[in-house]
Amino acid sequence: MRFLAPFLLLTLSATLHAVESPRQKLEAFLDGLNTLVADFDQQVIDTETDQVSRASGVLYVSRPGRFRWVYKGEYPRYIVADGRTIWLVESDLEQVSQRSQKAALRGTPAGLLAEKVALERDFDIQELGSRQGVSWIKLVPKDPESQFEQILIGFDGDELASLEMADRFGQVTRFHFHDVKKNVPLSESLFKFVPPPGYDILDQ
């Protein structure tokens, strides 16, 4: 019996060591990420008025530097990042807004997913533990000009489950992801954009 006790302790120690922390889950998820497809449900909460708006859609990511964020609904809109420019397309208004991608993405959730960034360079990192089976990590952008105060990322096992971001304008945006697929083939056409004829093009 005296030989069994040390064996059990070693086994328990190895098991505990094998459990990944929220930070390890995030690093492993990003390190192995080339493409991503996920359905999402979104809530935007105005903390001053308590108004809540909801939307849903599909996210496509192709690293490094490209994504397509598609919103479904009566007035569909989408965002395309082609590696140089971010395009916000509002079909109901026949309007396109464009912005330099390099300046726009640093310290943002979209940049975290699409770019191969050094976490320590761009964020202060805090592990928050688990709630209802979801492991959470908090990222605070180091860039003083970032529009976000903090970003929370939740993992259900090794799978990206939730993303919550609080901006400097009193809004909290929550995404819940489902049907997440990593490293599947994606068409190059998803990440190319040519403004349709007649659309107004605005610079941001």
Q: pLDDT digits over 73-109, tens only?
A: 877 789 999 999 999 999 889 999 999 988 777 767 7
For 99-139, write each residue's pLDDT tens digit.
Answer: 998 877 776 778 888 887 778 888 899 999 888 889 999 99
pTM value surpassing 0.85: no
Beta strand spans in the chain (E): 35-46, 52-62, 66-71, 77-82, 85-90, 95-100, 123-131, 134-141, 148-156, 159-167, 171-182, 200-203
Those residues with Cβ within 8 angstroms of residue 100's Cβ, 6 or more apart along the chain or in another chain = 84, 85, 86
Domain range summary for the chain, segments of one domain joined by +: 20-203
Which of the two residues, 3 and 38, has the higher pLDDT score?
38
Q: Which CATH superfamily is domain 20-203 in?
A: Lipoprotein localisation LolA/LolB/LppX (2.50.20.10)
